[in-house]
Amino acid sequence: MQYFIDVIIPIPLQKLFTYSITASESGFLKVGMRVAVPFGKSKIYTGIVYKIHENAPTVYEAKDIQQILDDSPLVNEIQLQLWQWIAGYYMCTLGDVMRAALPSAFILESETVITKNIVENFDESILKDDEFLVFEALHHQSTLKIHDISNILDKKNVLPVIKRLIEKEAISVEEEVYEKYKPKLVRYVKLHAKYSSEESLSKLLSDLQRAQKQRQIVMTLFMLSSKTKKPVKVKDLVNESAASSAIIKTLIDKGILEEYHIQTDRVVYSGSEETEATKLLNEYQKTALSEIKTSFKKQNVTLLHGVTSSGKTEVYVKLIEDVLKDGKQVLYLLPEIALTAQLITRLQNYFGEQVSIFHSKYSTHERVEVWNNVLHNSAKAKIVLGARSSIFLPFSDLGLIIVDEEHEQSFKQFDPAPRYHARDTAVVLANMHQAKILLGSATPSLESYFNAKQNKYGFVEITRRYNNVLMPDIELVDIKDKLKKKRMKGHFSDRLIEEMTETLKAGHQIILFQNRRGFSPIVECKTCGHSPQCPNCDVSLTYHQYRNQLRCHYCGYNAAMMQDCQACGSQDLDNKGFGTEQIEEEVKLLFPDNKVARMDLDTTRGKYGYEKIITALEQQEIDILVGTQMLTKGLDFRNVKLVGIMNADNMLNFPDFRAHERSYQLMQQVSGRAGRTEERGKVLIQTYNPHHNILQQVSTNNYVDMFIEQMNERFNFKYPPVFKQIKITLKHKDYIRVETASIWYAKSLRQIFKDNVLGPESPPIARIRNQFHKNILVKIPKQQSLVKTKEAIIKINNSFQSIKDFRSVKVILNVDNF
Ligand code: ADP
Ligand code: ZN
Ligand code: ZN
C-alpha cells in the first residue's frame, strides 16, 4: 500500500501538491501538521497537511517529504474549512490564505533569513551540538539562510534544528525590526509615611503655619488622595493647589512629600492586581443587552447601532462574561488602530490574564505565543482582542465574536491576497463554530444596516449617550462666505478661532481633524503652472515641511524640496491644498502659548508611536491635537470639548461610490470625541458647501436619512449592497499592453455578463510604482449565482493567462472591493 498527502504550500498555486509518505509516517501524520517538502529544483517549503490518502497523482511522480515538523496539528479542521471558504469566496489560493494566516515564524522555507536574538547572558548550555554550531555561526555572520545552515551542518533536513532554536529563543526568522518600548514614567507624590497618623499630620500642619503655600499643598494632597483613593500625579497636585512645581520640590527636599514613578506601560498586564467587577448597566444598556440575547436566540448575527459613547463596550463586556462562564472562547475584533491601551486596560481590569492581544505591531514571538495559547485553549487566551488577522487563530471552541467599529474599511485587506473582509469572514467563522456574533458601531456600514433591515441580521439600538451626556452641538461654517468677508486667518475661520480661544480659556482640550498628512499636497509654479510629479506614479508630490522634502504617498519616493521651478526656473512657488503639518504650523502661530501636537502616519511610526500621543493627550500635556482619521477610532478623552473639522469638502468629493457614506462616518466619529462628560461638546465643520445633504445629516445626527438617501443611489447605480461586485485590476509597466489586455478581458466578460460589466477604465491615479493600472468592474445582481459568476470569471482568467502577450500582465481579483 502506498500513502500520499496533499499539502498546502504558502505560494499561489492553483492546486495542492501531492507527496508520498511511508506507512509509518501515515500512521503518525495528522491533517493540520507541518511538513517540510521539496519544491521545484531546489526549494524547500513548510507545508500544511491537508489530506491523507492512497491515490497517486496521475501527471507527476510524487516526491518524498523531507521532514515532519510537528507532533500534533498546528492548524485545526475548522481553520482549514475557513481557509477553504476564503479561497473560494475571495478567489485566491489556499497558499495565499496560509501565508496570511500563520505567523511567519511557523513558515520556515529556503528563503527564510535567520538572525540571532540579542539576549544577555544567554545560557548556551541548553543548546544541543547541532544547535550550538548554528548559534556559533551567527556570531560571525549576522544572518544565515537555510541552505547556509545545511552547509554548516552538512545535512539536508535542518528545519527541525531551526525550529528548536526558535523555541529556545536563541534565533529569530526574518529581519524583523521591532521597537523596544521605553515605558513612560509618570510622576506621583504622596505624603511621607511618617505623617500617616493623624497626630503627626496635625503637627506637620501647625509647623507649616508660616509657610502657607506649602501648607496649602499638603492639605490639597490630603484631600485629593482621600477623595479619589488613587495615587496623585504631580501634575494634578499642581493644578488643584495652584502651586508651582518649585514649592512641591521644596517639600520633597524637606522629606515631607515623597516622589515616586509609576510606569504607564499598560499594554503589559502585570497580573498582580485583582480584577474589577464589571459595571452595572443603565436602563438603555440593560434593554439593549436583553434585546441582543433575545435576538441571538433566533439569529447568530446581530447589529448593535449605538451612538458614540453610549456604552457599547460595557454591553460587550456583559456578553463576554456569560460566554466565559460556559468555558468558551471569545474573539473581540477591532480595527488595528482602535486597539488602544485604553481598551486593553479596560478589559484586563475586568478579565485579567484571560485577555490576549493579537496585533501586527507585536513581534513574531508574541504572536506565536498567542497562537499556541489559543491552540491549547489555555486560560490565558480565553478572550483574544485582535485586529483583522486574528480571525486566523486556531480557535476550537468559540462562543462569541464581537466586531467593534464594524463599519471600518480597514477590516478589508487590500493587498496582497487574500483580499478578505475580516467582518464578513468572522460571520462565516462564527457559523462554523455555532457561535454568536455581534457587530457594533455608532455609524454602521450600509451593508450591515441593510442586512439588518432585511432581517438577515438581528438589530438593536442605543440612542443615548451614557449618563445622558448630550450629543455634541455641531455647527457648519461656510468658508466661502468667510473668505468673501475676509474672516479667515489661513485655514481658520473667525468662528473656529473664537471657539478655540474659549475652550482653551476654560482649560479644555481641542482636536482638529484634517484628512491629509504632510504640509501641502501640491506645489505649483505661479509663473508656468508646473508642479513636481512622482517619477513612478501619476500623482503630485506632497510637500513635507518638517524634512523640507517632497514625497509620494503612494510609493514612498522622496526628494529635497526645490528652490525654484524645474520647468521655468521661477522662484515663485505656491502651495496648494493643505495637510496636518500646515494646520499644526498655523495653530502654533495662532496660539503660541498652548501645546500643540500632531497625530498622523508620519508621527506614529513604531510599535508605541500612537500610544505615546494618546497618553500625552490623556495626561493633558497637549492642548490641541491635529490629526488625520487616526483620531476617529474609539478614543475616549474626558477633557476634549471642541472638535474642528478643517475642511469637509475633500472627503465629500473623493472619487468613490462610498465617499458620502465614509464622510458621514468619519465626521460623526470624530465629532463623537467631543464632550464625553457632563458638559456638552462643540463641533465646528468648515466647508464650502454647508447645504450638502451629508453635512446636514451629520449636523443633525440623522443616520437614517443618510442611509435612505445613499441606498437610493446604490439602487440607481447598481452598487453594493444592492449588487455585489468584483473588481478586476490589470497592471503592467507598458501602457499599450495593459490597455490591449484590459480591452480583451472586458470584452470576454461582456459576452457573459452584458451590461453588468464596466470598463476598462484608468483609475484616478493611473500609474503607481511604474505600473499602469486598468480597472474592470463586474456587477452581480442578487438573483445571479455568485458561485457560477466566479467560475465564469476564472475560466476567462485562465484563457487570458494562456495568451502569450498577456502573460506578463498582473491580474488582481478583488471580491467586494473597498
Ligand atoms: P462606546 O463604546 O459606545 O463609545 P463606551 O463603552 O466607551 O462607549 O462608554 C463611554 C464612557 O461611559 C466610558 O468612559 C465608560 O467607562 C462609561 N460607561 C459606559 N457604561 C457605563 C456604566 N454602565 N457604568 C459606568 N460607566 C459607564
Ligand atoms: Zn515654472
Ligand atoms: Zn510615487
Q: Is 666 contained in some domain?
A: yes
**Given 76, 108, 140, which residue is the final one in a domain?**
108
Domain that holds residue 797: 724-815
Q: Is 789 contained in some domain?
A: yes
Check whether residue 310 and residue 452 sit in a common domain: yes
C-alpha distances (whole Å) from 816 to each of 82, 90, 776 are: 18, 8, 13
pTM of the complete model: 0.81
Check whether residue 77 and residue 93 sit in a common domain: yes
Nearest partner of 647 among 488, 471, 441, 473, judged by Cα: 488
Check whether residue 658 and residue 785 sit in a common domain: no
Helix (H, G, I), strand (E, B) or coil at 473: strand
Best residue among 280, 285, 292, 309 to mutate for probing ligand 1, ranked by most atoms within 8 Å of CB: 309
Helix (H, G, I), strand (E, B) or coil at 601: coil
Query: Cα(276) to centroid of ligand 3, in Å?
Result: 50
Look-up of cell digits 500563520: 102
The answer to the question of whether 568 is labelled as a binding residue is yes
pLDDT digits (tens, 9 = 90+) for 363-393: 777 788 899 999 999 988 999 999 999 999 9
pLDDT at 138: 87
Best residue among 466, 665, 671 to mutate for probing ligand 1, ranked by most atoms within 8 Å of CB: 466
CATH code of 776's domain: 3.30.70.600
Report how far residue 462's alpha carbon sits from residue 309's, in angstroms, rounded to the nearest whole number.
10
Count of CB atoms within 10 A of residue 159's CB? 24
Check whether residue 460 and residue 494 sit in a common domain: no
C-alpha distances (whole Å) from 428 to each of 418, 424, 431 are: 15, 7, 5
The answer to the question of whether 537 is labelled as a binding residue is yes
Check whether residue 497 and residue 459 sit in a common domain: no
Check whether residue 582 and residue 704 sit in a common domain: yes
Q: Is 554 contained in some domain?
A: no
Is residue 632 within 8 Å of 673, Cβ to Cβ?
A: yes
Check whether residue 336 and residue 408 sit in a common domain: yes
Look-up of cell digits 479596560: 346
Report how far residue 25's alpha carbon sits from residue 37's, in angstroms, rounded to the nearest whole number.
14
Q: Which of 118-132, 252-266, 339-353, 738-752 has the lowest mean pLDDT?
A: 252-266
Sequence-distant (6+) residues with CB within 8 A of 557 are 534, 535, 536, 537, 541, 551
What are 358's strand-pairing partners? Answer: 386
pLDDT at 220: 87
Question: Residue 468, by phi and psi: left (phi above 0), alpha (psi -120 to 50) or beta?
Answer: left
Check whether residue 121 and residue 100 sit in a common domain: no
What's the average model confidence in pLDDT over 267-271?
Answer: 43
Check whether residue 584 and residue 690 sit in a common domain: yes
Kindly indicate the confidence band of residue 174, based on its pLDDT and cuts at 50, 70 and 90.
Answer: low
Kindly indicate the confidence band of residue 250, based on its pLDDT and cuts at 50, 70 and 90.
Answer: confident
Is residue 92 within 8 Å of 419, Cβ to Cβ?
A: yes
CATH code of 100's domain: 3.40.1440.60
What's the average model confidence in pLDDT over 762-786?
Answer: 92
Ligand 1 binding pocket (C-beta < 6 A) is 279-282, 285, 306, 308-314, 466, 636
pLDDT digits (tens, 9 = 90+) for 483-541: 999 999 999 999 999 999 999 999 899 999 998 877 777 788 888 888 888 888 888 88
pLDDT at 269: 43
End-to-end CA distance of the chain: 50
Q: Is 203 contained in some domain?
A: yes
Q: Is 390 contained in some domain?
A: yes
Report how far residue 800's alpha carbon sits from residue 802's, in angstroms, rounded to the nearest whole number.
5
Q: Looking at per-residue confidence, does 273 or 183 come out higher? A: 273
pLDDT at 210: 85
Check whether residue 124 and residue 96 sit in a common domain: no
Q: Is 533 contained in some domain?
A: no
pLDDT at 612: 81
Count of CB atoms within 10 A of residue 101's CB? 26
Beta strands 509-513; 624-627: pairing state? parallel
CATH code of 635's domain: 3.40.50.300
Cα radius of gyration (the chain): 30
Q: Looking at per-residue confidence, does 296 or 602 come out higher? A: 296
Mean pLDDT of the chain: 88
Nearest partner of 599 among 569, 551, 572, 635, judged by Cα: 635
**Given 57, 78, 108, which residue is the final one in a domain?**
108
Q: Looking at per-residue confidence, does 173 or 397 come out higher? A: 397
pLDDT at 170: 86
Is residue 462 within 8 Å of 311, Cβ to Cβ?
A: yes
Report how far residue 366's alpha carbon sits from residue 665's, in angstroms, rounded to the nearest whole number.
33
pLDDT-above-70 percentage for the chain: 95
- What total number of domains does the chain contain? 6
Check whether residue 730 and residue 797 sit in a common domain: yes
Q: Looking at per-residue confidence, does 335 or 268 come out higher? A: 335
Q: How far from chain centre, in Å, is Cα 635?
A: 14
Kindly indicate the confidence band of residue 189, based on its pLDDT and cuts at 50, 70 and 90.
Answer: confident
- Residue 89: φ, ψ to 5°: -70, -45
- Which residue's CA is the nearest one to ligand 1's atom 24? 279
pLDDT at 175: 38
The residues whose Cβ lies within 5 A of ligand 3, an ion, are 534, 536-537, 552, 554-555, 557
Q: Is 367 contained in some domain?
A: yes
| Residue 11 reports pLDDT greater than 90 | no
pLDDT at 711: 97
Query: Cα(420) to centroid of ligand 3, in Å?
Result: 26
- Which residue's CA is the nearest one to ligand 1's atom 15? 311
Report how far residue 515's alpha carbon sits from residue 687's, in angstroms, rounded to the nearest whole number.
13
| Residue 648 reports pLDDT greater than 80 | yes
Query: Cα(746) to centroid of ligand 1, in Å?
Result: 51
Q: Is 794 contained in some domain?
A: yes
Sequence-distant (6+) residues with CB within 8 A of 273 are 349, 352
pLDDT at 147: 76
The answer to the question of whether 92 is labelled as a binding residue is no
Kindly indicate the confidence band of residue 607, based on its pLDDT and cuts at 50, 70 and 90.
Answer: low
pLDDT at 224: 81
pLDDT at 789: 97
Sequence-distant (6+) residues with CB within 8 A of 566 are 530, 532
What are 115's strand-pairing partners? Answer: 143, 172
Best residue among 285, 636, 637, 670 to mutate for probing ligand 1, ranked by most atoms within 8 Å of CB: 636
What stretch of H or E contains 739? helix 735-753
Check whether residue 448 and residue 484 sit in a common domain: no
